[in-house]
Amino acid sequence: MLESIVARFDAPIRYAFAYGSGVFEQDGYGALSPVTATSPQEPEKTTASTRQQKPMMDFMFAVTHPAHFHSINMQQFPSHYPLHARLFGSSYVSKIQEFGPGVWFNTYIPMNDVVCLDSVQFNKHYRTSQQTIKYGVTTVDNLCSDLLNWNTLYLAGRMHKPLRIIKDDARVRLTQQVNLVSAVRAALLTLPENFSETDLFERIAGISYGGDPRMLLPAENRGKVGNIVRMQAPQFKELYHRLVVGLPGVHWPIRESRVQQDGSPKARAAHLRKLPKELLERVRRNYAMRLDNVVELQADEGVYWVHLAGDDDLPKVLIQGEIPTLCR
């Protein structure tokens, strides 16, 4: 189904993924996404109430030349763009896209005649339906930069959680692995020596929500991180287990739910020094304002990082404000 939606776009897309509650079932939603297959004994019910509760599907497209993409896409799907964007043209849209996290969104887009697997005869028959989608457009350069450096965490944070890759790209695949390991390192620095895999998954999933003021609003689901992890724990483990056990000083047997890590300042410093550039710079600035509580950066940086890694306030620094706030 996801492939059939992306295949509808004539404009060239180098990398595409789908994410969110419309693709992965989350606790708290009354209806399953069409992507979630039901068993032959329990055919999908398409009542009016389930259609209303069905979440919108979220996509992200990474392209090489945004002006070229929007030019073709605006001709194929003019209704996807607001009137002012159509009046000013694709060059205007690509320029606006450069601001902030570097993403242009088209929202509440109805896609008709979407091909789905039939939930009763799963292997043989297909059906069509209408699906409402939202899709963001960014550049491959911007995506890879955020994955490596956590410039805004807007894209990198989304990709910390399970997603469905629809079009793959070798460059993005490599930088995404760096992004996932960075998320593990940041989470480990905020966790004790012994913790559960659920603690790890919730800490990773919560990185992109840290400092987001919308999480404080009544309209926002404050338990969203817990909802995501509860319903997607197997996907989180499949995504992160191999990366976690590949780090020195971390012990996590595949059939166990408890994780152990070396909590010594030296081991923690090894994680700290390899955090993304933007986050690491924020940590250094935070400690620079408390010179009475930190060793000055010396020619031998090892002493400096071991001292920071052993500070009891480091988890607080990472959780409460030093992770970029433009992130969700």
pLDDT at 154: 93
Residue 77 maps to a domain: yes
CA 169 – CA 92 distance, rounded (Å): 27
Residue 14 maps to a domain: yes
Residues 48 and 141 in one domain: yes
Residues 17 and 137 in one domain: yes
Residue 328 maps to a domain: no
pLDDT at 122 over 90: no
pLDDT at 128: 66
Mean pLDDT of the 256-260 span: 96
With bands split at pLDDT 50, 70 and 90, how would you rate the model's confidence at 18?
very high
Residue 154 maps to a domain: no
pLDDT at 224: 79
More confident position, 323 or 200: 200
- Domain limit, last residue, from 98, 127, 149: 149
Residues 130 and 7 in one domain: yes
pLDDT in tens, 84-109: 999 999 999 999 999 999 999 999 99
Residues 314 and 187 in one domain: yes
Residues 311 and 192 in one domain: yes
Pull the structure tokens for residue 211: 């400092």
pLDDT at 325 over 70: no
Mean pLDDT of the 10-23 span: 94
With bands split at pLDDT 50, 70 and 90, how would you rate the model's confidence at 292?
low
Residues 116 and 230 in one domain: no
Residue 276 maps to a domain: yes
Pull the structure tokens for residue 310: 């052993």
Most confidently modeled of 52-66, 126-140, 261-275, 282-296? 261-275
- Domain limit, last residue, from 100, 131, 149: 149
Residue 169 maps to a domain: no
pLDDT at 113: 75
Mean pLDDT of the 44-62 span: 65
CA 107 – CA 135 distance, rounded (Å): 7
pLDDT at 37 over 70: no
Domain span holding position 36? 2-149
Residue 185 maps to a domain: yes
CA 182 – CA 163 distance, rounded (Å): 17
Q: What is the mean pLDDT of the chain?
A: 83
With bands split at pLDDT 50, 70 and 90, how would you rate the model's confidence at 47?
very low
Residues 14 and 125 in one domain: yes
pLDDT in tens, 225-236: 888 899 999 999
Residues 186 and 84 in one domain: no
Pull the structure tokens for residue 168: 């793959």
Number of domains making up the chain: 2
Give strand pairing partners of 135.
59, 106
Judge residue 21's burial from the number of C-beta atoms within 10 Å of its C-beta, 0-12 exposed, 13-18 middle, 19 or more buried.
Answer: buried
- Domain limit, last residue, from 132, 149, 166: 149
Residues 28 and 143 in one domain: yes
pLDDT at 316: 87
Residues 280 and 198 in one domain: yes
Residue 157 maps to a domain: no
pLDDT at 284: 86
pLDDT at 269: 95
Residues 130 and 215 in one domain: no
Residues 144 and 255 in one domain: no
pLDDT at 328 over 50: no
